Structure 1
Amino acid sequence: MTESPYTRPDMKAFLDALAAVGGPALADMTLEEARQSYVALHAMADRPARDLAVIRDLTCPGPAGDIPLRLYDARESRDPGPLITFYHGGGFVIGDLETHHNLCTEIAALMDLPLIAVDYRRAPEHPFPAAIEDCEAATRWVASSPAELDRKATGIISMGDSAGGNATIVVGQVLGASPADVPIVLQVPIFPLASNAIGSDSLETFAEGHVLTKAAIEFFDAAYQADRTDPRGFPILGDHSNAPPTVVATASLDPIRDSGRDYAKALVEARRDVVYLEMQGVTHSFTNIRAAVPSTQSDLERIIGAMTLMLGSV
């Protein structure tokens, strides 16, 4: 008899509550319903946003028009230093600045660094590689220390969750080949899609009942239409020899867990500096359910600790 994977008590309580609520699956919703449900989930499950000295919306030029951004900073003014660029999750389909607002305030406060969240174009209206092109353009803009930020960048910390974790890795590869004005000094993909999850053990093991489902992944995949031969879609195919220092975080109950493991393994084999953290007993999106699953706040703080450690070695 196969033993069930370990699930934390507070995680199990949240999963049981979600199951009791019921409702249509993501793949059975309209696009607008799916986006609204994602906003509602994070509003219900995440900790409240922090009060920060600076929370300001702005834009930067992009390949298809202006890209909405949001600047977060615990301080009104800054000496030159690293800036965080954050790419939100949501399968490249349902996330936006609002779904990750609370999390971005927390990261900016805990790291005590400016953070610029990027509201890239979403599929299916704008399929692959539109999101990646926007993330690259926004990162290059931030790296140029534009007057609009009133902050001088000495380096970039690229960071994102899920689809944003994919973008984090891809931006690192693209800017490694064609550098921006300042380098990426650290990249932090959180439960990223790096390799094709279809057919992986984790996808089959956690196909249902663990926040992100196999059906939802297939829904996102069909909408985004990433080229399976293009490293900008599946960055495990890219060059890892020039990867910046990296913190990779996965969740043990995540259907795309094995994709993050694949990427961490590729970095080790390429002899790159990497810290790999797998959070035991929690699911995909653990960074955005910190009120409903209180133990996940400590998981986020472990990621922040690893980032601090890696920055100290740069």
Structure 2
Amino acid sequence: MQTSADLAAHLRAAARERGATRPRGPELAFVEDLSGPGGLPLRRYRPADGTRPLLVFLHGGGFVFCDLDTHDRTCRRIALACDLDVLAVDYRLAPEHPHPAAVMDAIAVLRRARPAAVAGDSAGGFLAAAACLALRDEGGPLPAVQALICPNTDLTLALPSVTDKGTGHGLTAEALAGFVEAFVPDPAERAAASPLHADDLAGLPTALVVTAEHDPLRDEGDAYARRLAQAGVTVRHRCETGLEHGFIQGMDLTDPAAAAAHERVFADLRDLVPR
């Protein structure tokens, strides 16, 4: 029987292989590996000399796989297209480090870096949202913008798209259940850990929430955008027609619709991140 550790090892190896075969992305003036809070690996991308806003990026990967290298191309493209410094975070992964380890890593980096924006895809979107909630609750400085791309916001996986889009569209409902089990092993703790189930979403940063039509996580991303708006948060939200989960990760190389969606995300970041 395959254990969660065995599954994580397989997924990490596959992600590294995909990353090794994907084009590197644009050359930038400065790319530097750094050590963050508690020795956390970070990578900073600077498109050119001079001062510009900082965006902290939290990668996806179901809380159990992906790293600085798998999302290197994405971070390079954001930095160049949006004229931002990007700080990517290699947070601790489940099952070795279950919740709240990754959330605490995200919070620690945001506390130290004090960026203009935080962004994440999939599990990284969860971490960005959860870290903003925690910083708001403690009264600490918040980024001006949270950019959530195909975010996981509901660890209970209770909304209809998990079932409706959970087969035949890349990311499966079965895989999602395995990721959540590795991240929060106790089902009784999953709602409390989920941004969508937070009692109050007022006072959070301006949000960019981008979901995809054929994503099992679509409904919870859409629902989080609605709840943010109802709480008085400024929200820019759209669901990308025809796209699947993870479109931000390399799908522009093979799908013109995904490439166009990337350009819309870049335009949003250029518009929303304060200069």
Normalised to the residue count of structure 2, the TM-score between the two structures is 0.91
Residue in 2 that maps onto 1:199 = 158
By how many angstroms is 1:73 displaced? 0.8
2:235 to 274, 286, 290: 274
By how many angstroms is 1:29 displaced? 6.3
Q: Aligned letter for 2:42?
A: L
Which sits farther off after the overlay, 283-292 or 191-200? 191-200
CA distance in 2, matches of 1:310, 1:61: 28
Structure 1 unpaired stretches of 5+: 1-26, 144-154
CA distance in 2, matches of 1:262, 1:221: 19
Q: Deviations over 1:70-124 (max 9, x none)?
A: 000101x323x42100000001101111111110000011111100000000000
Q: Does 1:298 align with 2:260?
A: yes
User: Secondary structure of the residue that 1:176 maps to in structure 2?
Assistant: helix
Residue in 2 that maps onto 1:24 = none
CA distance in 1, matches of 2:137, 2:154: 20
By how many angstroms is 1:43 displaced? 4.6
CA distance in 2, matches of 1:296, 1:273: 25
Please give the root-mean-square deviation of Cα atoms over the aligned residues, in Å. 2.2
In terms of fraction of residues, the more helix-rich structure is: 2
Residue in 1 that maps onto 2:92 = 121
Q: Aligned letter for 1:257?
A: R
Residue in 2 that maps onto 1:284 = 245
CA distance in 2, matches of 1:41, 1:204: 27
CA distance in 1, matches of 2:53, 2:137: 20
Q: Aligned letter for 2:113?
A: V
Q: Does 1:39 align with 2:20?
A: no
Q: Deviations over 1:160-185 (max 9, x none)?
A: 000000011111111222244x5311
Rg (Cα) greater in structure: 1
Assess if the C-alpha contact under 8 Å between 2:116 and 2:273 holds in 1.
no
By how many angstroms is 1:38 displaced? 2.2
CA distance in 2, matches of 1:268, 1:47: 38
Residue in 2 that maps onto 1:175 = 135
By how many angstroms is 1:159 displaced? 0.2
Q: Aligned letter for 2:79?
A: A
Q: Deviations over 1:42-62 (max 9, x none)?
A: 455x55311001111001123
CA distance in 2, matches of 1:43, 1:286: 18
Residue in 1 that maps onto 2:181 = 222
Assess if the C-alpha contact under 8 Å between 2:62 and 2:123 holds in 1.
yes
Assess if the C-alpha contact under 8 Å between 1:197 and 1:258 holds in 2.
no
Residue in 2 that maps onto 1:78 = 50
Residue in 1 that maps onto 2:211 = 250
Q: Percent identity?
A: 33
Assess if the C-alpha contact under 8 Å between 2:243 and 2:257 holds in 1.
no
Flag as ranges the 4+ runs of structure 1 deviating above 6 A.
none
Residue in 2 that maps onto 1:55 = 31
CA distance in 2, matches of 1:159, 1:30: 27
By how many angstroms is 1:310 displaced? 2.5
CA distance in 1, matches of 2:19, 2:174: 20
CA distance in 2, matches of 1:28, 1:71: 29
By how many angstroms is 1:295 displaced? 2.7
Q: Deviations over 1:20-49 (max 9, x none)?
A: xxxxxxx896322111112334455x5531
CA distance in 2, matches of 1:260, 1:47: 29
By how many angstroms is 1:244 displaced? 0.8
- Count of residues paired in the alignment: 269
User: Secondary structure of the residue that 1:137 maps to in structure 2?
Assistant: helix
Residue in 2 that maps onto 1:151 = none
Structure 2 unpaired stretches of 5+: none
Residue in 2 that maps onto 1:96 = 67
